[in-house]
Structure 1
Amino acid sequence: MMKLNPISTGALGFFLWAAMMLLIKYPQGWLSLSSTPVLLILVSSIYSLLMPLGWSLALSALAVLMFNYEMVPPVHTFHVDLHEHGILLITVMGVSWLITYLLRRQKQIAEREHVLARRTLQLMRWSEQLREVDNPHTLLPVLHDLIAGLVGGLGVNQLAIALGYHALEYPPTFKVNSTQQEGFGACLQDNKPLGCGTGRYENLDDLYLPMRAKSGAYGVCLFVGKRDDFLDAVWIQDVQALLDQMGLACERHESARRAQQARELAQNQATRSLFLTSIAHDQRTPLASIMTSASALLEQGERLTKDEIRHYAELIQAESQQVSRLTDNTLTLARLSGEQVQVPMRDESVEDMVASVLQRLRQRKQKHLPKVQVEQDLPLVLCNMVLVEQVLDNLIDNALQHSGAPGSVELNVVQGQGEVCFQVSDLGKGMPLAQIQPGDQSRGLGIGLQLCRAVAQVHSGRLHFSAGLEKGTTAVFCLPIAVHNR
């Protein structure tokens, strides 16, 4: 719908008044002395909505005088018979002015209500936008445009508006002098408006409004203009409402950020405690075996046979290797748990990694080796070969310890949807899935399990278990296929 400007509406109102004057000047047969006042009041009520109040009252008075001159006997004179026509003219004049005033007043009230409704809608939309955004600091340009549109819509177009949190930063082209920097700091610290028209630092020519919150100001809005723009300005309250919403949103964001930091700190503390517990748990068993065997050799060495001495020596060697693997796992996990971890990766052959793991098992003189089945024509995987072999070594070693019988551990390597999966299965007694969640040591993994999960995360892969009470346990470790090999 096209909205007319004040000049167009004024011209339309004057045209209606002029048309009514022509009807009075050249009345038709249906226009009489009794019907003309009704028409005059009707037309005056219409153009009073289109023209300023002063103009409407003046034109209404001229219309009554024209009616007196053209139609009230004696015609073409301004002589009035007070007993016969005086009351009529006074009544027409009074009713015309009263209707003009009431209609103009009602129009002003309607316009003010419309402005208030528009401002309320703006506040609602702004509040919704603040709730939806993750970081309200990114909405500084939006707030600037919203304030500029609000102030400009009220006829104030000569203001320079700048906003900022720790300093005036938007728009970037805004130049800040030393006085404005000091005013910004004072407003931010006091969390109160200051400058012209605020009762605080009235000597300043500019106006400073804070982004208020319960804990203090999170930013400041600076208005640079003439002092008359700020004295008794009705838009200041609306702008302050927008800024307060921004301040409260920043406070909520800061509270959420601190709460998240507290949760992460608590989680890190719990992880560190679990980490230390896992180290102590995993190393306690092999160290106890080493100490027992060493004590037997020292205290009963003269009475032991060569086979018994060899047995204790092999036990010490095996448990020492276990401690060495646990130490390697601990150091690797500590490195992967650091911030901004960057692990070098390259395309590796699955067959080469499996062969390397089996070779290490043979070097450790493992009694039982797993049955291995690798699918043919497997693509290369983008990974860190050392870490992946460490994962496979942990999973196979754990399965061998709990398999219950020789030849009951299997390593199957298959290709899935966009990934290669290493499946390590054993025929041990099995366990409920709840017992093999992260951090559980019931199968002796401890640090090893945490390391496996960390390596899977670093490679954007996955690690999961399937277990039953009688069907053993299967660990599935999957790595994504290199993109150019898919």
Structure 2
Amino acid sequence: MDLDDIYDSVTENSYAYKKNKPKKYILVINLLKIILIMSISTLIALFFKQIQLNESSIILVIILGVLFSSSITDGYLFGILSSILGVLIFNFFFTEPYYTFLAYRADYPITFFIMLISAIITSTLTSKIKREVEKSNLREYKIRLLYKNSKKLLKTKNKCEIIEVCNKSLVDILGKSVATSIIDSGGNLKKPVIYEFKEEDGHSLFQSPLEKCSFKESFILGKETGIGTDLYQDALIFNYPIKSNDNVLGVIGVACFNKKSLTENEKLLLKSICNQVIIAIEREDLYERTKQANLAVETERLRSNLLRSISHDLRTPLAGIMGSSSAMIENYESIDEVTKKDLLKNIYDDASWLTRSVENIISITKVDEGRLEIKKNLEVVEEIVAEAISIVEKYSKNHKINVDIPDEVIILNVDGLLIEQVLINIIDNAIRYTPDYSEIIVKVMKINDYVYFEVEDNGYGLKDEDIEYIFDRFYSKNNGRSLDKRGVGLGLSICKSIIEAHNGDIEAFNNSLGGATFRFKLPCGGGEE
């Protein structure tokens, strides 16, 4: 806690002390202060009399006591009371005849009168200065609270935090229960968030039918309603609309259990807090609009990249299909059976590649639109792997695929079709980027609470600069060895999205065989929904 916080704490406690103590208690305390100070002044004056100082010194001591009494008591009344008491003390102890209220000398009444007027003027000025100092301290204290509120609002990250900061600040500043509600995306008023002041039952008050109607009416009309206004005068809350230009963004309700409306000073503070809240809400709305605009730009950029990549990378297999089919149509009778089979195989391979590419494009579109549905069921890992390999082997005649699966039956709560797609994409990636007759090993391991899948090859491996970006969308770096097998760069990105949707992780690295290994893990429980 810094010095400012200590100052605010002391100031707040001082105001709370004066506000919460009964008037009789304050009256008694002030009277005791006057009696104590004037008694001390009398003792000092008696000492001056004993050492035979003149009356002017004694009068100054009495007036000094009056001045001091005025400075530590509350209000003008106690200053005037101490002035009268000072004159009576001077008359009783220091004028002849002593210890009576009689005065034999003709000049004493004038002395008493001048002394009384001087004491009253002095005490009044002292009380006035004191009151101005208190007002100044109160204004400074509330300005500090507004400044702190502004700082806290700058740190808020959403509208819920804005409401929380607003309510806490108003409870501290006004010393009353507060309810705040702002509009949702549809322009409707949300349920109020209520903060109670000490022992007040703010929730019951704000939930009463009359108060709810006055609260809602303030939002509809964009005007102040409730106690102290022309609308819903019988209500015990004061409702202030959070209004920016002609748009009502919400309502702040302040409970008035004492059946007294807010003072003009309190309304001014409420308005200041409201203005800060408006700025914070508009800042948050601007951030959301900017975020949506950036998202739209990014989506459009991704679509452009997708179309550009598709138009470029689908051209080769389509040209191959058209060329092979055209050759067969034009020269069917003159082509031998072996050549026909080669041309048909080329057509099949290109069509298979197109089918997988289209499936990946559809999947990545679902990911972008948030429509990638995860339908989890209990699946046997061995069956998932076997099905994926049976699909890949149709177009991997020149690669050897081996499987290493534990003897125990491993069951996962996953979307079997999506995990198959992950394995198909990874194995297909290994086939496309390794030379013919390379060996591809598919491993499954269960370690602690996770099941690990690995696809390992003994091909050329991954370049260090590629590993960091290997799962990025549209990243399809050509290594110069497989120009005819380029992809659109979506397969591994889809794999990452599917695995992360299952609360798993995926990674790629080079293995000891010189090739690449792709590993992903899935929780045994399938992850929490």
Same fold per TM (> 0.5)? Answer: yes
What is the aligned counterpart of 2:456 among 416, 421, 424? 424
Quote the offset at 1:88 in angstroms.
5.1
SS of structure 2 residue aligned to 1:403? coil
RMSD: 4.1
Corresponding residue number in structure 2 for 1:173: 208
Compared CA separation, residues 80 and 300, structure 1 to 2 (3 A): farther
1:316 paired with 2:339, answer no
Distance 1:258 1:412 in 2: 47
Corresponding residue number in structure 2 for 1:40: 62
Asked whether the 8 Å contact 1:456–1:462 carries over to 2, the reply is yes
Quote the offset at 1:256 in angstroms.
1.0
Q: Which moved more, 1:452-461 or 1:165-174?
A: 165-174
SS of structure 2 residue aligned to 1:445? coil
Q: Which deviations, in whole Å up to 9, do the C-alpha atoms of 1:252-305 show, x marking residues without a partner? A: 111111111112222222222333344444433322221111111122223222
Distance 1:401 1:161 in 2: 66
1:6-155 aligned at under 5 Å gives the runs 6-15=23-32, 17-18=34-35, 20=38, 31=49, 34=55, 36-48=58-70, 49-73=72-96, 75=98, 76=100, 77-82=102-107, 89=112, 92-137=115-160, 140=163, 143-144=166-167, 146-147=169-170, 150-152=173-175
Corresponding residue number in structure 1 for 2:525: 482
Quote the offset at 1:318 in angstroms.
2.6
SS of structure 1 residue aligned to 2:353? helix
Compared CA separation, residues 15 and 230, structure 1 to 2 (3 A): closer
Distance 2:297 2:81 in 1: 78
Distance 1:73 1:59 in 2: 22
What is the aligned counterpart of 1:238 among 260, 269, 273? 269
Unaligned runs of 5+ in 2: 1-12, 184-188, 193-205, 479-485
Corresponding residue number in structure 1 for 2:481: none
Distance 1:315 1:177 in 2: 74
Distance 2:284 2:395 in 1: 55
SS of structure 1 residue aligned to 2:509? strand
Unaligned runs of 5+ in 1: 154-159
Quote the offset at 1:247 in angstroms.
1.0
Corresponding residue number in structure 2 for 1:252: 283
Asked whether the 8 Å contact 1:297–1:309 carries over to 2, the reply is yes
Quote the offset at 1:369 in angstroms.
2.3
Q: Which moved more, 1:473-482 or 1:288-297?
A: 473-482
Asked whether the 8 Å contact 1:428–1:471 carries over to 2, the reply is yes
Quote the offset at 1:38 in angstroms.
3.9
Distance 1:161 1:451 in 2: 49
Corresponding residue number in structure 2 for 1:157: none
Structure 1 letter corresponding to 2:138: V
Asked whether the 8 Å contact 2:510–2:517 carries over to 1, the reply is yes
Asked whether the 8 Å contact 2:214–2:239 carries over to 1, the reply is no
Asked whether the 8 Å contact 1:282–1:326 carries over to 2, the reply is no
Distance 1:232 1:329 in 2: 67
SS of structure 2 residue aligned to 1:409? strand
Q: Which moved more, 1:238-247 or 1:11-20?
A: 11-20
Distance 1:116 1:381 in 2: 66
What is the aligned counterpart of 1:398 among 429, 435, 438? 429
Quote the offset at 1:69 in angstroms.
4.8
1:438 paired with 2:473, answer yes
SS of structure 2 residue aligned to 1:370? strand
Corresponding residue number in structure 2 for 1:383: 414
Distance 2:457 2:222 in 1: 68
Number of aligned residue pairs: give it: 466
Quote the offset at 1:416 in angstroms.
5.2
Distance 1:110 1:340 in 2: 65
Distance 2:209 2:150 in 1: 27
Asked whether the 8 Å contact 1:64–1:92 carries over to 2, the reply is yes
Asked whether the 8 Å contact 1:14–1:47 carries over to 2, the reply is no
Q: TM-score normalised to the size of structure 2?
A: 0.74
Compared CA separation, residues 360 and 41, structure 1 to 2 (3 A): same
Compared CA separation, residues 462 and 70, structure 1 to 2 (3 A): closer
Distance 1:355 1:176 in 2: 67
Quote the offset at 1:15 in angstroms.
3.5
Corresponding residue number in structure 1 for 2:379: 348
Identity of aligned residues (%): 19
